[in-house]
Structure 1
Amino acid sequence: MANDLGLAFYITICCVTFIISKIILMILLYKRWKRKNMIYEEGNFSGGKMVMFRSPLLQSVTPDVFLKKTLKLSNKDIIGAGGYGTVYRLRMNEAMAFAVKRLNRGTADRERGFERELEAMGDIKHRNIITLHGYCTTPHYNLLIYELMPNGSLDSLLHGKSVESKILDWPTRYKIALGAARGIAYLHHDCIPHIIHRDIKSSNILLDHNMEARVSDFGLATLMEPDKTHVSTFVAGTFGYLAPEYFDTGRATAKGDVYSFGVVLLEILTGKKPTDEAFLEEGTKLVTWVKGVVEERREEYVVDSSLGCSCPMDEINKTFNAALLCLETDPTKRPTMAEVVKMLEQIKVRESST
């Protein structure tokens, strides 16, 4: 009898806990929906709509003014282009400018990419995540309006052959790595539902005027409820950054983002692209090349030569160790992004205490 009462009590507690957790989740989701749908102003025009999120930066700009400016964008305003669409610089005045991503309509995949960005970015406010200021829908294309990052992307600075590229010293590289890690950790741990980016790479890490990293491009992002471990989806992303298990399972997980970030860390350390021509000629890739050298304790041979011989090898070795943990073949052995942030933070803490 006592055992039956105990079992009944246990089942009751479990049911109540489950119901309460669902109620809390629904409240959080409602608040998220309410923020997305209540904090904007609209400007309508024939066949489309302009929506601007309210912020101190936009107090002096109306959606109609924004709309008139976007309709005047031309090829001379282009600052980036790719399979995802075209990015323009939208200059409002001498002191205010934005980045406008134009996504042509016409396929379900393009429409879904636009919807993913809005879904993921609607109410995110974090110093290491790009800020979405608004969007525009028309019959032929969609626009996403972001803050403009004056220092471009990590990819262009590390690998670019134009005037945009420049030598990054070690303190700046470390700052970028830590900032990007904090941004991804925020997506994984603090957003409800959690956000899996699915396309972490150096070209999606943008840099503001202080060289602070901002994670960008949420066209492949997937939302995941806190009680889930993965989301089944089609394999997408960028070759050289994708976790090996992703190809086998088609499951998007937070640990897949961790692997991709590990590749970015290797880029920062070595200055080489994951698919560098030298690797392709040898039938290998950045990850396997670095793993082989690090196992032989010859990290200094893979460090970007532009850093010079005066960079702190102790800090660099610790960063290599963090990268290799992120790149474990078994995803269960990889750290979470919160743990990666702690590892990177400890590098400077230990260095300053010695």
Structure 2
Amino acid sequence: MSNSHAVAFYITVSIIAFATSKIVISVLLYRRWKRKRKVYADSIKGGKMVMFRSPMMQSVTPESFLKKTMKLSNNDIIGSGGGTVYKLTVNDSTAFAVKRLYRGTVDRDRGFERELEAMGDLKHRNIVNLHGYYTAPNYNLLIYELMPNGSLDTILHGRSMDKKHLDWPSRYKIAVGAARGISYLHHDCIPHIIHRDIKSSNILLDQNMEARVSDFGLATLMEPDKTHVSTIVAGTFGYLPPEYFDTGRATAKGDVYSFGVVLLELLTGKKPSDEAFLEEGTKLVTWVKTVVEDKREVLVLDSSLDSCPNDEISSVFNIALMCLEPEPSKRPTMAEVVKMLEQTKIQINCRGEDC
């Protein structure tokens, strides 16, 4: 066999082997996908239900689940965030949060696709679990784990009947949990996930008051070798990093800035869009920075946090200000934020009093 024929033969064999391996991998991935998901075609409404296999979903059939969603009403609404969120009770021991997203606009459909793309295989104790989804011609449904204590925003800023007194150990625990969840998105997921809408209403609380990051409707996936993703400005006023308006670039450091605002909410008990700030022509970040730089943190600390460990409070204020540096390169990464928060220990006892 001549050299040219031998080369051609080896190239052909290599191509066939490569193609065969791709087919085998695709088949294996599809089988893995099928093992993890239960698919049900709704012939009446022209939709498709996909349920991820988990202990919670074992006792639920797609048919019965869909029937219950059809009976949801305004009385079942528990929140909103890119869509209407309902509480769906399956039985005495099982309930879910169902987000309904009406179709018809490009932004809504993209939001649904982003949540699916970002949430499909996420498993972390500080990320809300996605249990399945339903697609139909007029709307989509996302089926989430129900968080019985609602959102941090509702507990801190909601109506009197919804508010709960959060002592300092609880707020500290929420801060650490939320930071771990965001750090997982930034550093442990491949591709990395930039949330782009970190705020107190997107930090939910489970039965143990453990923080869970939620709502991935604006999330952006970023390959590890990239530093940013160019996109339109999106997010929530008061939480957006200053550079976002100038560059239109979504970066992990933008999430760090938004988390810094959440830390200030936990410390001060005030919303970034508090009417008092608007009247004075300032904002939460500017107000706190001015006071903390003068070493007068006590003036901005939530008045319900009496007799708390001053050293720990001061440390968390400083971490928040690091996150809120105007220059993104000067902000810590979320992994560094987690480390700093974990190293911040309660050093002064409350002497038997509730913080």
Q: TM-score range by the shorter chain?
A: 0.7 to 0.9
Q: How does 1:333-352 map to 2 (within 5 A)?
A: 333-348=330-345
Using structure 1 for the length normalisation, give the TM-score.
Answer: 0.88
Matched, 1:66 2:65: yes
Please name the residue that 2:199 is paired with.
201
User: Partners in 2 of 1:135 and 1:121 — Cα distance?
Assistant: 11
- Cα contact 1:41–1:53 (8 A) shared by 2: yes
Aligned-pair CA distance for 1:275 = 1.0
* Greater radius of gyration (CA): 2
Cα 1:29/1:238, change in 2 over 3 Å? farther
Aligned-pair CA distance for 1:38 = 4.8
User: Partners in 2 of 1:265 and 1:196 — Cα distance?
Assistant: 19
For the residue of structure 1 that corresponds to 2:256, the secondary structure is helix
Report Cα offsets for 1:151-192 as digits up to 9, x if no partner.
Answer: 000000000114221110000000000000000000000000
Matched, 1:328 2:325: yes
Please name the residue that 1:159 is paired with.
157
- Cα contact 1:32–1:123 (8 A) shared by 2: no
Which has the larger helix fraction?
1
- Cα contact 2:181–2:213 (8 A) shared by 1: yes
Aligned-pair CA distance for 1:37 = 5.9
Cα 1:127/1:34, change in 2 over 3 Å? farther
Give the total of aligned pairs: 323
For the residue of structure 2 that corresponds to 1:100, the secondary structure is strand
Using structure 2 for the length normalisation, give the TM-score.
Answer: 0.88
Please name the residue that 1:23 is paired with.
none
Matching residue within 196, 221, 224 for 1:223:
221
Please name the residue that 2:178 is paired with.
180
User: Partners in 1 of 2:119 and 2:32 — Cα distance?
Assistant: 11
For the residue of structure 1 that corresponds to 2:226, the secondary structure is coil
Give identity over the alignment, percent. 76
Please name the residue that 2:54 is paired with.
55
* 5+ residue gaps, structure 2: 1-24, 350-355
Write out the 4+ residue segments of structure 1 that deviate beyond 3 Å after TM superposition.
Answer: 28-38, 349-352
Matched, 1:118 2:95: no
User: Partners in 2 of 1:232 and 1:166 — Cα distance?
Assistant: 39
Aligned-residue Cα RMSD (Å) equals 1.9
Matching residue within 78, 102, 105 for 1:104:
102
Please name the residue that 2:352 is paired with.
none
Aligned-pair CA distance for 1:33 = 8.3
Please name the residue that 2:13 is paired with.
none
* 5+ residue gaps, structure 1: 1-27
Please name the residue that 1:40 is paired with.
37
For the residue of structure 2 that corresponds to 1:348, the secondary structure is coil
Aligned-pair CA distance for 1:57 = 1.5
Please name the residue that 2:131 is paired with.
133
